[in-house]
Amino acid sequence: MKSPVIPLLLAGLIAAGASAAPERTAGRLAVDGYAAVINKRVITVGEVMAMIEPLRDRLKAAYEGKELEEKLHESWQRALDALIERALVMEEYEQEAQKLPERVLDSELASTVTEQFGNDRAAFFEALAESRMTMEEWRQRAKESIVFAVLRRREVIEHVVVPPRLVREQYEARLEQYRLPEQVKLRMIALQRGETEQDRTVKLDEARQIRSRLIAGEDFAQIARSASEGAKADQGGDLGWVSPADLRPELSSVARSLRAGTISDVIEAGQELYLLKVEARKDASVVPFDEARVQIEDDLRKAEIERLHKAWIERLKRKHYVKVFDLPW
């Protein structure tokens, strides 16, 4: 069985560039043709195809025709963009004086063998052989992955700042999202009214008798399990916390007006009869700033990382030669 290390590397790293010139067959690039060139570093069509291969079968199962073509195009473009970014970062790294020590790669190898293969080096090498990857290729890909992470931290992550003022402004701008509607903790007994007038009379009488038992103090959940014909009968008619606004109109108005702990009258709604019990209430409220702040900060941080990352890649594209070839379909 293939190790998870192999797909991980395919998804995150680029292989060594091919040197063959691009070939075209019936207007398409051959698999060993060029997908892009960054300075003298080549990204082949085969490398991009290897990245999207795990996704292709799922897309083909879910889509067809023009929609499938669009989804394949999107996955191709995302994969190619990722490979171009990696190549640009490696080109930048090659121009730097400080290089990654070999001991870092040795440490990465040891961690991989320990964490993914239970410290079984034989299993690791078996996985490499199964994926037709040499140790030299693995070390190169591991190096590229580490270099990308190090430079991205230096150029992007370390520059991320989320001012408290902006967090507060976002909270106030999103205030409607943080409004919580009135909620009730609700139990329900539902009975089908029947098809004939006689059935309706019998069912209405049954519902009234059930209500009398509830008013007398019998347990709502127990009666719901034995008498209710609703979907939540097995759970004692427990609907949990719900907003009255989400209930059908005939039930909504009753749920809004019932005091906690009280039983409703028999409610006739469509082809059903209902009895409700409100066990507790929560008034409409707004999520406090201190509770919302963590999520807002996280959202702003992610947005800032994306902005700085794009700006960094754009700087690298202006600095280095980049040529992208036509799609292979």
pLDDT for 326:
81
Kindly indicate the confidence band of residue 21, based on its pLDDT and cuts at 50, 70 and 90: very low
Average pLDDT along the chain: 87
pLDDT for 213:
95
Backbone phi and psi for residue 54, each to the nearest 5 degrees, phi listed first? -60, -25
Residue 327 has pLDDT above 90, yes or no: no
Per mean pLDDT, which range of 164-168, 197-201, 320-324 is the poorest? Answer: 197-201
Backbone phi and psi for residue 271, each to the nearest 5 degrees, phi listed first? -95, 15
Residue 9 has pLDDT above 80, yes or no: no
Kindly indicate the confidence band of residue 97, based on its pLDDT and cuts at 50, 70 and 90: confident
For the CA atoms of the chain, what is the radius of gyration?
Answer: 32
Kindly indicate the confidence band of residue 329, based on its pLDDT and cuts at 50, 70 and 90: low
pLDDT for 23:
38
**pLDDT tens string 256-312:** 999 999 999 999 998 999 999 999 999 899 999 999 999 999 999 999 999 999 999
Region 126-155: what's the mean pLDDT? Answer: 91
Q: CA 191 from chain center: how many Å?
A: 40
230, HSE (Cβ side, Cα atoms, 13 Å): 22
Residue 13 has pLDDT above 70, yes or no: no
DSSP code string of 120-166: -HHHHHHHHHHTT--HHHHHHHHHHHHHHHHHHHHHTGGG----HHH
**pLDDT tens string 171-192:** 999 999 999 899 999 999 999 9
Region 313-323: what's the mean pLDDT? Answer: 96
Q: Where are the domains of the chain?
A: 5-158+313-324, 182-283
Listed residue (97, 93, 113) closest to 105, CA to CA: 113
CA–CA dist 83, 44 (Å, integer): 10
Q: How far apart are the first and last CA of the chain?
A: 32
Report CA-CA distances (Å) from 158 to 41, 108, 162, 163, 310.
28, 23, 12, 15, 15
Q: Which CATH class is domain 5-158+313-324?
A: mainly alpha
Query: 5-158+313-324 and 182-283: same fold?
Result: no
In the block, residue with structure tokens 């990382």: 305
The two tokens of residue 299 are 């959202």
> What percent of the chain is predicted at pLDDT more than 70?
90
Residue 22 has pLDDT above 50, yes or no: no
The CATH number of the structural domain formed by 182-283 is 3.10.50.40
Per mean pLDDT, which range of 19-28, 35-44, 93-102, 217-226 is the poorest? Answer: 19-28
Kindly indicate the confidence band of residue 234, based on its pLDDT and cuts at 50, 70 and 90: very high
CA–CA dist 328, 285 (Å, integer): 55
In the block, residue with structure tokens 């909270």: 171
Residue 198 has pLDDT above 50, yes or no: yes
pLDDT for 168:
96
Task: Identify whether the C-beta of residue 52 lies closer than 8 Å to the C-beta of residue 76.
Answer: yes
Backbone CA torsion sign across 99, 149, 103, 40 = negative
